[in-house]
Chain A
Amino acid sequence: MMNLCMAMVTGDRLVRLAPVDLVIVVFYFVLVLAIGFYLKGRSNTGEDFFLAGREMTAWIAGLSFLSANLGALELMGWAAASYQYGILAAHWYWIGAIPAMLFLGLVMMPFYYISKTHSVPGYLKLRFGESSRALSAICFGFMTVLMSGINMYAMALVMKVVLGWDINFSIWVSSLTVAVYVTLGGLRSAIFNEVLQFILIWAGALVIPVMGLIEAGGWKALQLKVAANASVEYTHLWSTLGSFKDNPMGIHWTGIVFGLGFVISFAYWTTDFLVVQRVLAAKDLRAAKMAPIIGAAFKMFVPFIVILPGLLGLAVLPMKLTGEAVAVATGGHSYNEVLPLMLARYCGPGLLGLGITALIAGFMSGMAGNVSAFSTVWTYDIYKALIKKTATDAHYVLMGRWSTILGVLISIGTAYLVMSFLSIMDYVQALFSFFVAPLFGTVILGMLWKRATAAGGFWGLLAGTVSSVGMWAWVKIDPTALRYVALSSDAKDMAENMYRGLWSWIICVVVTVAVSMVTKPKPESELVGLVYGATVIPTEAQVPLYHKPAFWAVIVAIVFIALNVMFW
């Protein structure tokens, strides 16, 4: 039997689509646009447009919550990371997500939901005042459209490499499609399409691990092949983390547990408005608490379609994949191509089209998440708060539609900017991480500590962000500083990010506490609905056990622990 992935590397593309594949891709575009047009009439008020009428069930909000994060670059990037670093990449799906998602559902969601805020910066305004909101909203809005543009460019590049499509064609067709359905139907349309995209991602990607495991001869045989082709450490999750030098990622368990598992993960999953917005659209508090728990349950199994294909690539692909620079110099394939290579290996006409549709769906769900979050933060936390404070609801909805289009256009502009200055990509990824870790420090103290003051919140957030930028610049200027920032000169980029996040969070918390202790707190009457101890959380005593979010969170936690032990 001939290896298709070798045969399909023809000319300037990795795979060639058959007519049936194109029909599947075109049908997908038609369907998402149809959903946008169908929902157009149901997004006339601010509550409808920005919060989907707050009527999403726990399942829809939960799947949307996960789908907004499950972008194509996420799929391809982590498959590449698992080829490069082995099963360690699964930490970003397990300890780097599950505890934080459960914490969001059980502890933080009541405050977000009961306060009736439209956004995370909106919560900061209620808890700490206008200055904290303005700082977080401007940083978030700026970074969101930048990230969206970078993802757009990267995806167009993937389409060029995999399918030979023109970069301009990919950028404009996919981004305008997103612009149309989000502008028409607002968050409701984004959420509906994200749920559809989530199902398509699984439908398109599930074939790879199933076929791969059949070819490899099961998990045990896969482990032996990976050990022979790479190293035995590639299939162990924890046992190699005792030393920076013992694992392919150059990271210590403290970085994974405290940097990733605590700060980075909690920061992203509990304060990044891109994902939190989906849960705010839940129909009631119980649905809002259940949504992240449902998301966590599905998140645990995403490594099956992302990490496993990377490991299978190590075991069964006949060629050795390399870094991007080496691949370009030698005409070989890079780590980033492992998922398309595996797709081409097992998927004939039809299945290939569904797999490509899954990648496009992943890209569009990520982009829709970015632009809908940008639109809300721009309209409520920047435009309404700082520019036009009094206007009708219809005016703000119109502004929301225009800012969606504007967000897409800025994203497209960023994509072309990145095309000219590729190094921007590294910087913006880092820039985004500067803000998220300290934001978590500010929000968590605001929710759990009544004594935290407005001045404490603002200066803590600012100090954490500035110190994060400072540490990043320090290592850029003097690479030997890595041994201080990341505790080891052997630390790789990912390890550095973990420790930088941890330090900036600690600095934010210390400054917030110190400033709060010397400034005057708000009276408790003003903290009702915002802070633990000053808020009455509706009791669930009369609810059957199987309807309680805490019950399902315990089930998810048990499975999470079991998975970590199984792959220790």
Chain B
Amino acid sequence: MRADGTISIWFFIGVSLLVNGVLIFGAGLYQISHPPAIKVVLYDLHASVWWGAVLAIVGAIYCICYNPARA
């Protein structure tokens, strides 16, 4: 929460990155357990897993740092 009582834009960004990161990470894990018939190029690098994890971690950090409850 900012000094004037409003929620910081960085908190909204944190929520967005966290939710998207978790969804992408989950989709990447699902693809590992259920490999698709048609694979993307460089499928073996599992970009969804590592990129989803990066987004989720960054998003979580922003959510914590700019949490409106931490006035």
Contact = CB atoms under 8 A, between A and B. Distances in A.
A350 B55 contact: no
A70 interface: no
Interface string B25-45: 111101100001011111101
Most buried by B among A2, A20, A344, A348: A348
Contact of A42 (B6, B17, B26, B43): B6
Interface in A1-59: 1-5, 7-8, 18, 20, 23-24, 27-28, 31, 35, 38, 42
Contact of A1 (B24, B27, B39, B55): B39
Interface residues of B, number: 31
A35 B12 contact: yes
B63 interface: no
A219 to B, nearest CB: 17
Contacts of B31: 348-349
Interface in B13-30: 13, 15-17, 19-20, 23-28, 30
B9 A215 contact: no
B41 A23 contact: no
Q: How many residues of A sit at the interface, in one of the four size bands?
A: 35 or more
A422 interface: no
Interface in A129-153: none
Given A27-B20, A196-B12, A350 B41 contact: no
Nearest to B9: A192
Contact of B28 (A4, A203, A350): A350
Given A4-B40, A215-B42, A200 B16 contact: yes
A203 B41 contact: no
A125 interface: no
A215 B28 CA distance: 20
A189 to B, nearest CB: 10
Contacts of A199: 13, 16-17
B57 interface: no
Contact of A7 (B13, B26, B27, B38): B38
A192 B12 contact: yes
Contacts of B42: 1, 211, 214-215, 346
A215 B40 CA distance: 12
B45 A196 contact: no
Contact of A345 (B26, B40, B55): B40
A274 interface: no
B47 interface: yes
A230 interface: no
Given A27-B23, A196-B9, A349-B30, 14 more contacts: A1-B39, A1-B42, A20-B23, A20-B24, A24-B20, A24-B23, A31-B12, A35-B12, A38-B7, A200-B16, A346-B47, A350-B23, A351-B51, A353-B24
Interface of B: 6-7, 9, 12-13, 15-17, 19-20, 23-28, 30-31, 36, 38-43, 45, 47-48, 51-52, 55
Interface of A: 1-5, 7-8, 18, 20, 23-24, 27-28, 31, 35, 38, 42, 60, 192, 195-196, 199-200, 203, 207, 211, 214-215, 316, 344-351, 353-354, 357
